[in-house]
Amino acid sequence: MKLCGKGVIITGANRGLGKEIARACVAEGANVLLCAREGALLEQTRTELRGIATAGQHVLSQTCDVSRTEDVRELIWRAERGLERIDGLVNNAAVLGPKGLVENAEWTDWVRTIEINLLGTVLLCRALLPLFRRQRYGKIVNLSGGGATAPRPRFSAYAVSKAAVVRFTETLAQETRGTGIDVNAVAPGALNTRLLDEVVAAGPEKAGSEYERALKQKQGGGESLERAAKLCVFLLSSDSDGISGKLVSAVWDPWPTLAERRLELNQTDIYTLRRIVPEDRGHKWN
């Protein structure tokens, strides 16, 4: 029970990866507050997870648009009163946004993607940081996604927002160094969720080469939601204390053993975004 007695807020928790993260947290003993914009589906998820919780666990839900300061304020108010304590935050809420060439994208949709994926993440962190600083402990897990570490043509708003989330994670980790607060990002892998369904529905005209890749992924089953959720549990637990400012891949990185390497890890730029210089590719241009 890695999270026994801990309180965790999970955004975008009514389906897909968010729901799987919530399920894993409950299974590990956490008290959780689930949030999403769709209230009916959120309540259905809360009821389902309540069924696997123990008698003493809290499984709460609150409709919330993470890009709205008023909604975020109410969410934190509910968490402070409904959970015994708040130890962790998982920023999972995200939209795929407009598909197609950037000059053809509806501008309001492009901006809306940034508001939810990036600004929503920042708003939740800002709202909880004073509490985490006072108690000198807190775990923040921000979900990265396709486009954070490589270009993603025809999904520019999503790619930009997720790359920005990673750099925000690294920056916030520096701002909270030595406070007992750990901030990390998770690359969950290619998952078969509603975002993949949106790529398929967009068709090759809008999605370009992403369309064929999405079809193959859908047929192949994609990466494991459960493995990505287990990584989030690890980063929310005391097992990962002292690991901060990293982008960790659920699929490719040896995260179950990272605790053994935490001192070495924190002295390097491993698992961070960086600029590639000629020397990295065997060239001496300087």
- Tens digit of each residue's pLDDT (9 = 90 or more) over 196-237: 888 899 899 999 998 898 988 988 888 899 999 999 999 999
Give percent of the chain with pLDDT exceeding 70.
100
CATH top class, domain 7-192+225-269: alpha beta
CA angle, 210 then 212 then 216, to 5°: 115
Measured CA to CA, the distance from residue 123 to residue 78 in angstroms comes to 16
Q: Max Cα separation, the chain?
A: 65
Query: In this model, does residue 6 exceed pLDDT 90?
Result: yes
Query: In this model, does residue 145 exceed pLDDT 90?
Result: no
> What pLDDT is stored for residue 193 in this prediction?
87
> What pLDDT is stored for residue 192 in this prediction?
85
Confidence of residue 270 (pLDDT cuts 50, 70, 90): very high
Residues 182/139, Cβ–Cβ less than 8 Å: yes
> What pLDDT is stored for residue 286 in this prediction?
79
Average pLDDT, whole number, for the chain? 95
> What pLDDT is stored for residue 246 in this prediction?
97
Read off the pLDDT of each residue in 88-92 and give the average, rounded to a whole number. Answer: 98
Sign of the CA dihedral with 70 first, then 84, 91, and 14 last: negative
Q: Which two tokens stand for residue 260?
A: 């053994």
> What pLDDT is stored for residue 147 in this prediction?
82
Query: In this model, does residue 146 exceed pLDDT 90?
Result: no
Which neighbouring-strand residues pair with 62? 35
> What pLDDT is stored for residue 13 in this prediction?
97
Give the residue, 198 or 133, on which the prediction is more confident: 133
Which neighbouring-strand residues pair with 10? 34, 90
Distance of CA 189 to the CA centre of its chain: 12
Read off the pLDDT of each residue in 105-128 and give the average, rounded to a whole number. Answer: 98
> What pLDDT is stored for residue 218 in this prediction?
87
Confidence of residue 25 (pLDDT cuts 50, 70, 90): very high
Query: In this model, does residue 137 exceed pLDDT 90?
Result: yes
> What pLDDT is stored for residue 168 in this prediction?
98
Residues 158/117, Cβ–Cβ less than 8 Å: yes
pTM, 2 dp:
0.95
> What pLDDT is stored for residue 252 in this prediction?
94
Query: In this model, does residue 72 exceed pLDDT 90?
Result: yes
- Tens digit of each residue's pLDDT (9 = 90 or more) over 158-171: 999 999 999 999 99
> What pLDDT is stored for residue 172 in this prediction?
98
Query: In this model, does residue 10 exceed pLDDT 90?
Result: yes
Query: In this model, does residue 128 exceed pLDDT 90?
Result: yes
* Residue in the block written with tokens 């919330």: 64
Read off the pLDDT of each residue in 243-271 and give the average, rounded to a whole number. Answer: 95
Domain boundaries, the chain: 7-192+225-269
Measured CA to CA, the distance from residue 100 to residue 79 in angstroms comes to 39
Query: In this model, does residue 58 exceed pLDDT 90?
Result: yes
> What pLDDT is stored for residue 19 in this prediction?
97
